[in-house]
Amino acid sequence: MKALVLEEYMQLNYRDFEEPEIESNEVLVQVKACGICGSDVHGMDGSTGRRKPPLVMGHEASGTIAKTGKDVSDWQVGDRVTFDSTIYQLEDWYTRKGRYNLSDNRKVLGVSPGEYRKHGAFAEYVSVPAHILYKIPDNVSFEQAAMVEPVAVAAHAVNISKIQPGASALVIGAGMVGMFVLNMLKIAGANPIIALDLDENKLELAKEFGATHTFNTSKPGISEKIKELTKTRGADFGFEVVGISETVNLCINNLRKGGTAVLVGNLKPEVTIPLQKVVTTELSLLGSCAINGEYELVLDLLASGKINVDKMISAKAPLSEGAFWFKRLYNKEPGLNKVILVP
């Protein structure tokens, strides 16, 4: 088969690659679409330490089942499917407690942090366990289904916050996942929904995804404006979708007493926080890790038209041109959002 291989950092080659073999509980999926995630772009230069070459990256994907293992009974060749990015263990304490995203020895598709290497979906075929599969509704395209993963990450963050209708929400970082956090907050009935970013174009798009108010963080007076919108108290909930000290602090410092910060971004392995603010105002800090069962919800929302992922798809290109599109994303080309690669 053909695959886009990270041979070494900053070097992607489209070449022949060994087709994956499947275990008895796995299926072989013929990939129809795979999105380039920001984590793949950062992984390309080695900055995250989680994509050690050689590796086939890619975890936002969809396709059709080409082969099933002997123990797979609920899926058939030809089924249209997408799949979780986390390969979790079924016989695990955390999975049995309903938190499979925290299961021990879990793997992430298209990732090689050193403890394991699991080749991903920037290829003609990928192998995945049958228990992480989800059926694609008939009216959802393969390209749209490849967007389920980032939407589900956002849905998980909103789910664990337990936000109620009418609560005020602050979203810092209007990137891909940030946009879908805004969309999920709108569905959840939050109000106002305030988006913060440095990019005016992203802030304009944020309004289409559910933001009631947007502010550029390069301009002064942000905290005062947030207080004006939240009865002088600060936001009930803050969703930080970047992962650096500056934005984490911005999130925490603009919450009301007793508010909740949901930390989604993890660009940096360590950040500093205003400890006295957290302690003396009794803030709750929640980490949001990947996805925990939100795929079905997102597929239903896509099928019903309540979430529109098409606005975030900037390009659909052959997998053979993958290195070119990775370079454009790495260089942060203005206006370039999700790129879908098609084998």
Q: Are 148 and 216 in contact (CB under 8 A)?
A: no
- pLDDT above 90 for 267: no
Q: What is the pLDDT of residue 306?
A: 94
The mean of the pLDDT values for the chain is 97
Pairing of strands 193-197, 169-172: parallel
Q: What is the pLDDT of residue 97?
A: 96
Q: Residue 118 is encoded by which pair of tokens? A: 């699991």
CA-closest candidate to residue 17, choices 127, 125, 128, 129: 125
pLDDT band at residue 268 under the 50/70/90 scheme: confident
pLDDT digits (tens, 9 = 90+) for 153-212: 999 999 999 999 999 999 999 999 999 999 999 999 999 999 999 999 999 999 999 999
pLDDT band at residue 81 under the 50/70/90 scheme: very high
**How far apart, in Å, are the Cα atoms of 215 and each of 172, 219, 227, 234, 250?**
10, 8, 13, 15, 13
List of domains in the chain = 2-147+309-342 (3.90.180.10), 153-287 (3.40.50.720)
Within a 10 A sphere around the Cβ of 165, how many other Cβ atoms?
8
Q: Please give the share of the chain, as a percent, with pLDDT higher than 90.
A: 96
Q: What is the pLDDT of residue 155?
A: 98
Q: Alpha-carbon distance 183 to 179, whole Å?
A: 6
Residue with tokens 């939100």: 294
Q: What is the pLDDT of residue 269?
A: 85
Q: Please give the share of the chain, as a percent, with pLDDT higher than 70.
A: 100
* End-to-end Cα spacing for the chain: 10
Cis preceding linkage at 318, omega within 30 = no
Average pLDDT in the 309-334 region? 96
- pLDDT above 90 for 49: no
pLDDT band at residue 225 under the 50/70/90 scheme: very high
pLDDT band at residue 48 under the 50/70/90 scheme: confident
Average pLDDT in the 324-343 region? 96
Three-class DSSP labels, 96-109: HCCCHHHCCCCEEC
Cis preceding linkage at 54, omega within 30 = yes
Q: Alpha-carbon distance 209 to 150, whole Å?
A: 14
Residue with tokens 């395209």: 141
Q: Are 256 and 192 in contact (CB under 8 A)?
A: no
